Copies of this chain bind each other. A is one copy, B any other.
């Protein structure tokens, strides 16, 4: 077992990222050590760098998306949700949310475990100054705490291909489960970043009839076509009215049954209400950061007789289904192509800046390369 691990650290909001060395702590029963192959650079990580999330402890080792190899296991067997043992050498990802308590009102009574107040997220809420320190993915090694759900990646899926897991595919899985998607549905998806692309794949896998991807970047829309978009709309080249009318033209005049929002842009939300058909469903999963208010028309919402569902966080089942979905459909979609930029650990600062400029679809850091 290695003795030390290099990790990227955000010392405080907006300060340059530093690479620091940490001692690897002894593994307690139920714990494991993960050798990180790829750590995903999520838009949230850029927000963390700028200190935009409340309650985050600095200095912080960021990174909640990770795939890699089990380097060591503590003095107790650990098992996946199917009851199979996790072994040293297994290629795995983890559910980045841990300590969901299944004892509180949200977990047991409201059945909304993503609102459990006890949960902790690797690379976001856990304090690198305290034991076991190595709890962010921008690191050679991550200490996988007891109770964290570990999910094996099948051999035929590369680490890059599994990179769509991270938080994009589980978020998309959760979002689809909250919507009435079924075969024959007409779907529009706002945003062709990682979450939007995974929503595209899921819409196609579920037999959607038309799937329109909406984004402002033509390189993303090209990737969207590879992920099953039957149509694309560039918001730099079309007006809202044109998008609205186009969606009716391809759907017998009705408009999309379901619109998924995966943009991070608050203005997308009133547009989504416009785009969805009467009696349809609008599902919002991309408003993870507070970017203020927008103007919305309650009469329009009411008149259209809508279901509007919002989706927060992910449960272990969504990560489990995400991995299965990628594995089962690996030949059908170019999952590896989502990873457009790769960085070394020493390039973490550059990785964050690239992500901030929206140049990448998904950037990853490979701390052991």
Task: Please tell me if A324 contacts chain B, counting CB pairs below 8 Å.
Answer: yes
Q: Identify which of residues 344-361 in chain A touch chain B, using a CB-to-CB cut-off of 8 Å.
A: none
Does A299 lie at the interface of the complex (its beta carbon under 8 Å from any beta carbon of B)? yes
Least CB distance, A230 to chain B, in whole angstroms: 11
Whether A108 pairs with B317 at a CB distance below 8 angstroms is yes
**Inter-chain contacts of A302 with B (CB < 8 A):** 284-288, 310-312
Q: Is residue A333 within 8 Å, beta carbon to beta carbon, of the partner chain?
A: no
Q: Which residues of B contact A252 (CB under 8 A)?
A: 82, 105
Interface stretch, picked from A109-117, A134-142, A214-222, is: A109-117
A307 to chain B: which residues have CB within 8 Å?
307-309
In the assembled complex, how far is the CB of residue A154 from the closest CB belonging to chain B, in whole angstroms? 13
Band of interface residues on A:
35 or more
A324 partner, pick from B177, B209, B290, B292, beta carbons under 8 A: B209
Q: Does A83 contact B (CB under 8 A)?
A: yes
Further 15 A-B residue pairs, CB within 8 A, beyond A81-B109, A207-B329, A294-B295: A79-B103, A106-B278, A106-B279, A108-B316, A108-B320, A183-B325, A184-B328, A205-B207, A206-B206, A266-B298, A285-B302, A287-B299, A291-B299, A293-B296, A294-B297
Going nearest first, the 10 A-B pairs with the smallest beta carbon separation are A112-B279, A287-B302, A102-B102, A305-B312, A308-B308, A293-B295, A205-B207, A290-B299, A269-B298, A287-B298
